Structure 1
Amino acid sequence: MLQSKSNWKFNMLPENMTQWMDDSSNLSPVMKELLIQRGISTAQEAQDFLSPKLENLNDPIGFQSIDKACTRVHTAIEQNEKILVYGDYDADGVSSTTVLLKALQELGANCDYYIPNRFTEGYGPNEEAFKHASEEGYSVIITVDTGIASVHEAEVAKQLGMDLIITDHHEPQEELPDAYAIIHPKCSPDYPFKELAGVGVAFKFSQHLLGYFPDHLLDLVAIGTIADLVPLVRENRILTFYGLKKLAITKRFGLQALMKQCKIEGKINEQDIGFLIGPRLNAVGRLQDADLAVQLLMTDDVEEAEHLAEVVNELNQERQRIVASIVKEAEKMVSDQTEQSVIIVAKAGWNEGVLGIVASRLVKKYDRPAIVLAINEEKQTAKGSARSIPAFDLFQNCMKIRPLFTHFGGHAQAAGMTLPLSNVLEIQAELNALIQEQLTSDDFKQVIEISKTICIPEINEELITEIDQLAPFGMANPKPIFHLNAIPSEIRQLGNMKNHLKVLFNEKDKKIEGIGFSMGELFHNITPKTPISIVGELGINEWNGIKKPQLIIQDLKIEEWQLFDHRGKKQFDISPYFHPQEQHVVISNQEIESESGYPGNVCRISYDTPLDTIARAETLYIYELPDNLQQLQDIINQVQPVNIHVCLYVENSLYLSSIPSREDFKWFYAMVWKKKQIDLNKELQMIMDAKGWKKDHVIFISKVFFELEFVKIENGVIQLNTSPVKKDLQESRIYQERMNKAHIEKTLYYSTYQELIDWFRATINYMDREGLKEEITHGL
């Protein structure tokens, strides 16, 4: 048995929608089920989803205050008032800033932009920036991807005589800013889609300002929407679907140069943005002013674009080095928080810009919510980011203790905050209590949502191509994860360090391979001819022009007990198999050299250990042959292991030594009968030469006859008993012991793997029947 690392959650079909509602589609049964899971059950709905249409986008007029905001901006343009676009420093923020700037420039506005410095100003609008804007003559400030929590700053803008227009998508808090206008989907009852990214809101505002649909801005919308991890459904799906197409043929020199740095060519997908473009744009604001990223997106100069893209790429590499260093320090701190349900680590000197990434790494490794803070020793404050596990809504729970934070904002799974350093322990205690109240131990494991169990014959290139129509994948429209259960025909490790796992399945002339990256260590935990369950994404592996379907493994488990065969390996080291959360029992009559290093969850026993003192354990290691098979069966019944490791090493084998036959006994007895007396001190070599026997052979026969009282032996002289009682060889204890030990060796040591597993399976099946019988008895 092998436990999965994550909780597997199989998607259930929506209620009242368990089948495809019409037969007018040529979609495969698998594809239809995937669409039903997304609430799509007719051919027309499928057509709309698989082939998104721009005409299905909502009219911006549904935004509350959008007409008022547009009128104010047009008035400002007519009167040549200065307009400031106030953005945020992440990929969504800089793309939002660029979208609105491009629209305002197209309208001939007197405009510029401002993005606060993460390190000196922090997140969102701030009083000093507004005062400086007023001094510079700006009369209109438009926020993008920020501002919904800026109650104080809205009041400052009003006092300074500036009109503040807020466009944002973050969670509104209890009190809204008293701004000139707020354009926010969640503050607009008449706007039907609430999950736009900041760039989506900025685009909608730009559309209303321009008076037409600005499809030339969609490449920027795709970047911000995908990078900000908003749900890729409905409007977001349509915008990114067409935005990715625009991005592939973009005329923006900055994006062309950036994609060259990323080595992106041809068709672009959501992964190119999520793993290549987005992180590079984010890296700028994480390490310095984000202005550089806006300049890159805005530039009309090829040489400048290439230079800026190179700088952005270097900043991203520096960001990766900084993250690795902080993660290493943070992990050392986490070792002191083993009893905490939420991780909080803090240190002076940490780069505030990368703490969200560090928090994500800690959540992934430790399966707990994590808050990572940079300490300002002078002000005695801490500032940082938090990430959560799926089962814990970080935003809602932190709002319950909002007074403990100086500033706080975010989403269910991610947040940013500033707080007095003295509040760190109290926040940890409060969140611990909330987590323990709401979650079970199982909730802490990462969750893999599985779309469907699939069979090997169902998997082919056509199905994978069909599934790709569901793209772009992202939040609320994840790439389908499939479950497969089968017996592999081959398992092996890949890579120079053997750190990857390859599993090959064959069924009905169909082949499918599974690749588990960084799963190479599991190779030793999988036994031959054992059904394994794997979950992962389907894809096409193309090599030298040959295309083959494959499954990229995300997790695997084995639900049956397993037998690991280490026979014939002297002093085999079992310590790599020790799991810290499992119990282990080792059968060994001798002290094992490495036993002093065994952890407390490993217990060594012998066959003489009283059964009632042996505890149950997940894994049993067998180093010694029993005196009889029942001894081993009893221990198995007591331990009830799910994994058995046979580590036997036989040096002087009885099974391989020749066992005297009945004819051998008859010949020797006939010789003693005839001679009446034989002196082995003198005649042993003659007997050995005559029959080709070894010394042990002769000695064994002699001992059996002596035990059966057929002869007397004194000082190596055998003398015939002239009146023996008739007895069978089986009545000899010596004879029985040797035959029994030979049989045990044959069963447990010299058997084939299949014979050995059959013996253990029969024992375990017997154990299961006995357990069932006992359960029924107790039930009565």
Structure 2
Amino acid sequence: MAKRWVLKDAGSTEVIEHLATELNISPVLANLLAHRAISSFEEARFFFRPSELHLYDPFLMQDMEKAIDRIDLAIARNEKFLVFGDYDVDGTTAVSLVYSFFKKHHGNIEYYIPDRYKEGYGISTQGIDYAAEHGFTLIIALDCGIKSVDKIAYANTLNIDFIICDHHLPGDELPDAVAILDPKRADCDYPYKELSGCGIGFKLAQAYTQKHDLPFEQVAEYYDLAAISIACDIVHITGENRVLAHLGLQKINNDPCIGIKTLMEVSGRGGPYTISDVVFSLGPRINAAGRIADAKDAVKLLIACHEDKAKEQGLLINSRNAERKGHDQQITDEALGMIDSDEALIKRKSTVVFNENWHKGVIGIVASRLTEKYYRPTVVLTRSNGHVAGSARSVLGYDLYEALCGCSDLLIQFGGHRYAAGLTMKPENVDAFMHRFEEVVSTSISEEQLTQQIVIDAELNLSDIDSKFFRIMAQFAPFGPENMAPVFLTKNVYVSGNAGLVGGNHIKMNIIQPWSAAFSCIAFNHGEYLPMLKPNVPFDVCYTIEENVWREQRSIQLNIKGIRFSSV
């Protein structure tokens, strides 16, 4: 599928010149800083040298004092308290962090993860009933709860207090909890708004150490969990998140907790780990526990104190991930077959596919894969508990949630945001939903939104890429949302030597410009361009710059994102 190439506008000339002079860097790198709203030497120093000194005072967060006071009271009274969290990576890492931290200060503590299929997302009535039946008087809810007004009211009738640690946008009414930690509260002046759910848990632990004058190392040992949550929950890697991600990657690569070390070993992926490695290697394994069986298995691994127990849990989770991949591949193949065999479905501006036998735990992954393939709003449906459940994904710039609002009369419930959502409907409404969703999308989406784009940060000559350029550019990491790896455009390059296919549909080649050295390139899933890649034919490329390590030899490699010929 052809993609649009979109070159970002350059930043302020004055700012770029100032940064290039002050930092002794190229204008291209100075422009990358300007794109990140950096305009001074001090801001650049903060950006390039993230440190725990850059973490904000946790008591700047609304209700933090109340939360710590309630925990202190619970510990003083030897109350039983329960750490409750969602079943995804953010929730399980958050529960693991907060449980492990407070377990060292209070023995009367347990954790609870709701069942994805029986209880669904967020605070559940079953979870509250469990707490009441087992004598818990305080629940710390992580990565959920900000909209659980009715559930918290129910807990209050049972004399169970809640501390909510959430990072989602609040509704019009806040729950009647003892404390609500959420930087997105309208009345919260905390300087950074984009923390993950686990990040909120980290701030709670940080506040406890700060109030009780405990060594900061007691909370710093959980940097690795915070980094995994940041990577896998796709939150912004800016500001405090970038500091936590930077410090967390250092811990993952140098001194991970026993559970994460085991997970790295069973994954077979060698280090050093980047944010991308965490997302594609560690995240799916942690998620697989809840998708296939019980998310508590992920927590058991992440809180493990002994290598034998961690190994047992790591192997279990790895087997769950293998099972998840089997379901994922099978369902993806079946869904692709449905679409490719139906001319009407191919021509639509949306994708809705349904099979009552598909595994509910992986339909979100399948929806993402179908969106990548056809690049249009996508819903994947299956039967669940007598209803039809769905997972939806969107494309850049198109508000999926608004589209579902246009189908709300056909749905039992739905929720999410502009790019991802979940929904439930009666089985008899499936056909009507398929037609309505296509009607809504086709009348509200633009052709531009239906064409995937590559956003390019700057134009570059190959001769501009040297060891100093790469060394400084690498310090822009860790990369992720709002701080993506820079994409560069170079025009009129030529193949040097022969280009060839590797791994099926990937191109391996060297490229040059007349005044430059040759650079090694890998172009994933670009095999269709191979017949046109001749030594005397110029073409344009857009790419990221990365380090390739082969047999302990390090070299700069260009990861090609797009190839364009003037004749195409």
TM-score w.r.t. length of structure 2 = 0.92
Match of 2:45 in 1: 47
Cα deviation digits, residues 13-43 of structure 1 (max 9, x gap): 3468652335221223221111111111222
CA 481–369 in structure 1, closer or farther in 2 if over 3 Å, else same: same
Which runs of structure 2 are paired with 1:622-661 in the superposition (5 Å)? none
Give the deviation of 1:403 after TM superposition: 5.7
- SS at the partner of 1:416? strand
CA drift at 1:415 = 2.0
Partner secondary structure for residue 366 of structure 2: helix
Equivalent position to 1:391, from 377, 397, 408: 397
CA offsets per residue over residues 486-537 of structure 1, 9 Å max, x none? 2414452233756534252242251123221232222124466332111111
CA distance in 1, matches of 2:175, 2:354: 31
Structure 2 equivalent of residue 510 of structure 1? 517
Q: Any idea what the Cα deviations from partners look like across 1:250-294, whole Å, max 9, x if unmatched?
A: 352212211112335553321221111111111111111111110
Q: Give yes or no for contact 2:507–2:524 (8 Å, CA) kept in 1.
A: yes
Q: For residues 192-225 of structure 1, what are the alpha-carbon distances to aligned partners after superposition, in whole Å with 9 as ceiling and x for unaligned?
A: 2111111011111222233254211111111111
CA gap 1:250/1:338 in 2 versus in 1, 3 angstroms: same
Which among 452, 455, 469 is matched to residue 446 of structure 1?
A: 452
Alignment CA distance shift 1:172-1:349 (3 Å): farther
Task: Give CA-to-partner distance per residue, 1:549-575, whole Å, 9 cap, x none.
Answer: 3211112121236xxxxxxxxxxxxxx
The correspondence for 1:302, drawn from 294, 298, 307, is 307
CA contact (8 A) 1:92 1:197 kept: yes
Name the SS of the counterpart of 1:170 in structure 2.
coil
Partner of 2:331: 326
- Give 1:421's match in structure 2, choosing from 403, 421, 427: 427
SS, match of residue 293 in structure 1: helix
Percentage of identical aligned residues = 33
Match of 1:112 among 90, 99, 110: 110
**Displacement of 1:538 after TM fit?**
1.0
Q: Superposition pairs for residues 359-758 of structure 1, below 5 Å?
A: 359-376=367-384, 379=386, 381-399=387-405, 402=408, 404-490=410-496, 491-495=498-502, 497=504, 499-526=506-533, 529-543=536-550, 547-560=554-567
Greater than 6 Å deviation, 4+ residue runs: none
8 Å Cα contact 2:411-2:423 kept in structure 1: yes
**CA displacement 1:128-171 (0-9 Å, x = unmatched):** 22112211111111111112232332222122221122211123
1:191 and 2:190 matched: yes
Q: Which residue of 2 aligns with 1:602?
A: none
What is the aligned length?
A: 556
Match of 2:208 in 1: 209
Residues 546 and 266 (structure 1), Cα distance of their counterparts in 2 relative to 1, 3 Å cut: closer
Alignment match of 1:133 (pick from 131, 134, 147) = 131
Q: 1:125 to 1:538 in 2, by over 3 A?
A: same
Query: Within the alignment, does 1:286 sit opposite 2:268 as a pair?
Result: no
RMSD: 2.3
**In structure 2, what is the equivalent of residue 20 of structure 1?**
17
Distance 2:505 2:382 in 1: 38
State the 1:464 CA deviation.
Answer: 1.7
Equivalent pair of 1:107/1:210 in contact (CA under 8 Å): no
**Structure 1: any 5+ residue segments left out of the alignment?**
562-780
Instruction: Answer yes or no: is the 8 Å Cα contact 1:10–1:452 preserved in 2.
Output: yes
How far off is 1:545 after superposition?
5.6
> Do the aligned partners of 2:507 and 2:527 also contact (CA within 8 Å) in 1?
yes
Q: 1:415-470, CA deviations, whole angstroms, 9 ceiling, x for partnerless residues? A: 22323334444544554444344432121122211111111211223322221100
Secondary structure at the aligned position of 1:443 is classed as coil
Kindly provide the amino acid, as one letter, of the partner of residue 117 in structure 1.
Answer: D
Whether the 8 Å contact between 2:505 and 2:526 is mirrored in structure 1 is: no
Distance 1:201 1:155, change over 3 A: same
Rate the CA distance shift 1:177–1:17 in 2: closer, same or farther, 3 A: farther
Residue 144 of structure 1: aligned partner? 142
- Does the 8 A contact of 1:391 with 1:439 survive in 2? no
SS at match of 2:536: coil
Say if 2:234 is the partner of 1:234: no
Other structure's SS at 1:185 match? coil
Asked if structure 1 preserves the Cα contact closer than 8 Å seen for 2:493 and 2:511, the reply is no
Conservation of the 8 A alpha-carbon contact between 1:537 and 1:551 = yes
Residues 370 and 386 in structure 1, CA contact (< 8 A), matched pair in contact too: yes
CA distance in structure 2 between the partners assigned to 1:139 and 1:545 by the alignment: 55
Distance 1:226 1:496, change over 3 A: closer
Return 517-526 or 447-456, whichever deviates more: 517-526
Q: CA deviation at 1:323?
A: 0.1
Provide closer, same or farther for how the CA distance between residues 161 and 400 of structure 1 changes in structure 2, counting only shifts above 3 A: farther
Are 2:223 and 1:218 aligned?
yes
Post-superposition offset of 1:341: 2.5
Contact 1:342–1:428 (8 Å) recurs in 2: no
Measure the CA separation in 2 of the matches of 1:407 and 1:205.
33
Question: Are the equivalent residues in 2 in contact too, given 1:66–1:205 (CA < 8 A)?
Answer: yes
Quick one: distance in 1 between partners of 2:38 and 2:93? Answer: 32
Cα separation, 2, equivalents of 1:12 and 1:423: 46
- Name the structure, 1 or 2, with higher relative contact order (CA <8 Å, separation 6+): 2
Q: Distance between the aligned counterparts of 1:389 and 1:180, measured in 2?
A: 39
2:4 pairs with 3, 7, 13, which one? 7
Measured in 1, the distance between the counterparts of 2:155 and 2:237 equals 35
1:82 is matched with which residue? 80
Given residue 194 of structure 1, which amino acid in structure 2 is its aligned partner? K
Counterparts of 2:517 and 2:13 in 1: how far apart (Å)?
Answer: 35
Counterparts of 1:271 and 1:246 in 2: how far apart (Å)?
Answer: 16
Quickly say closer, same or farther: Cα 1:497–1:343, change in 2 above 3 A.
closer
Find the aligned partners of 2:202 and 2:418 in 1 and give their Cα distance. 25
Matched residue type, 1:388 = S
Could you say what secondary structure the match of 1:195 adopts? Answer: coil
Aligned mates of 1:12, 1:156 — CA distance in 2: 53
CA–CA distance in 1 between the matches of 2:370 and 2:209?
45
Is the 1:501–1:523 Cα contact (8 Å) retained in structure 2?
no
Asked if the contact 2:505–2:524 (Cα under 8 Å) also holds between the matched residues in 1, the reply is no
Whether 1:311 and 2:319 are equivalent positions in the alignment is: no
Give the secondary structure class of the aligned counterpart of 2:28.
helix
